[in-house]
Amino acid sequence: MAARKSGFIVGAVAGAGVACAALAGVGMRMGPAGAAEQEPSLVRASATSAPMFAPPPGAPLSFADIFEKVSPAVVQIDVTSKADPKARLRIPGLEGLPFDIVPRGQKPGEEGEEAQAPKQQSSGSGFFISADGYIVTNNHVVADADTDGINVVMKDGRELKATIVGRDESTDLAVIKVTDPKAKGAAFPYVNFENQARPRVGDWVITIGNPFGLGGTATAGIISAYGRDLGDNSSQFVDYIQIDAPINRGNSGGPSFDIYGRVIGVNTAIFSPTGGSVGIGFAIPADVAEATAKQLINGGKVVRGYIGAQIQPFTSEMAEAQGLAGTKGAIVADLVPGGPAQRGGLMPEDVVTSVNGVAIKSGSELTREVAKARPGEVIKLAVLRGGKPRTVEIRSGVRPTEKELADNDNEGGEKAAPAKPDAPKAEALGMSLSPLDDAGRKANGIDASIKGLLIDNVKASSDAGEKGLRKGDVITSVNGEVVATVAEVNAAVETAKKLQRPSVNLRIVRAGRPTIVPLKIAP
């Protein structure tokens, strides 16, 4: 189970043994006179006593029937992978120091027997979705598995070899298939996804999995919430279900069921300050899991639509700056040169309010709707440009992998450069600004294609300072109007004041990456 701890998602770890102790019966002790006394700290419930309270309406008296029905389809997944060979050579607690231990007889940088990667074991969960052996699990459970390094342990104790069919980092889902010759011709028990009647918040949920290596473990709880964002890449494509049924490390990839034994989600992460369950778990919804699994089975990968636009949330402050209070959507910060969006006529600072007729309220929703398109399919975006509605049609491309996107984001980072010589400066919105000339470009590593005003200084007490603007950033436009002088910035601010708008939207470029920042107009 991936544990969310202090804002980070921690990957799966090997299942650990857990010692369990049961407390049963009433403790007895001998009094001074030899008479038996009841130990007050221990209590035994009578087998015939009535329940202390009635279960809520609609609640099952037991989950045993559900467990018996679906548990044969849930499996333990044991994975063998290579460990970091340097992990054994580092001094515990001093990993941050710039040296490693070199084995005796081996020169620094020399490969030897000691440098060979050792094997490590980890465990997760999964479940059959077909009689011919396809199993859904989490990508992080099997991503690092060696060839022939995946073992599936069934409820009846059988251990079978499996191989990876396909993985999808974007949703943290994977499909594996039993390929063990011992299982040839076997029909496996399987379960179905619930993709029709979505359970409500408060409905019962039962999970089955392999926490800490304790296979075949069932826990129960309720659906706590929908639409949770884990703050990582997967949240672009997954609105997570929050559940309070206890799940722990090793539950990753296991199913959550409704009271009819249908899969409503794939358990993926927990929020925990301790690494153990605190009653806040997250599952990938059944519709996302089913659609992803089908693509992985059919083609080994997931193909998503792509328009080539950098987007960000359209906040209430941005909306007020454009006189669009109450408008929901996503704002375009930049376009990939020559990409589908640019070819289709989308422009920076357009506000996208719907995709193919589906209203959107955030950048994640826009990405999710675009991703549903097939390559070559026309995507219709409803946008606001300068406050006026229009429709932009874009022919979808193919979304690059997350690694490719990350590599593109990291290109051309901050560059060290000599100090910029003095240039004419003027004040606006709590910032000292100057024209972007050749000297300024060279000093700050700014590409020649970027036009605008260079920020030379920011007052820490200003809204610009509080929003994180800093020396070396470039202002390219204010409220959609391109600016090259401080006079043009001030003119845009005065126009906003006359329209009684409390803020202006600045398009800022930093290290080659643009973003939209709303700044309050000082009284």
Specify whether the CB–CB gap between 63 and 218 falls below 8 A.
yes
Query: What is the C-alpha radius of gyration for the chain, rounded to an integer number of angstroms?
Result: 29
CA 10 to chain centre: 12
Please enumerate, as own/partner, the contacts of 27-32 that have beta carbons within 8 Å and a separation of 24 or more.
Answer: none
Catalytic residue, chosen from 71, 122, 140, 256, is: 140
The annotation status of 112 as a binding-site residue, yes or no, is: no
Q: 227: part of which helix (H) or strand (E)?
A: strand 217-228
The annotation status of 251 as a binding-site residue, yes or no, is: yes
Two structure tokens written together for 88: 């054994």
Q: Which residues of 83-198 form beta strands (DSSP E)?
A: 119-128, 134-138, 145-153, 159-168, 173-178
The annotation status of 149 as a binding-site residue, yes or no, is: no
Q: Could you write out the DSSP letters of every residue in 391-456? A: EEEEE-EEPPPHHHHHHHHTTT-----PPPPP---EEETTEEEEE--HHHHHHHT--TT--SEEEE
Catalytic: 252? Answer: yes
d(CA 367, CA 390): 20
The annotation status of 250 as a binding-site residue, yes or no, is: yes
Two structure tokens written together for 339: 């990409």
Query: Phi and psi of 132, rounded to 5°?
Result: -90, 15
Catalytic residue, chosen from 123, 170, 252, 277, is: 252
Nearest to 343 by CA among 308, 368, 371, 310: 308
Catalytic residue, chosen from 78, 168, 172, 258, is: 172
d(CA 92, CA 104): 19
The annotation status of 345 as a binding-site residue, yes or no, is: no
Active-site residue list: 140, 172, 252
Q: Binding site residues, as ranges? A: 140, 172, 250-252
Q: Binding site residues for substrate, as ranges? A: 140, 172, 250-252
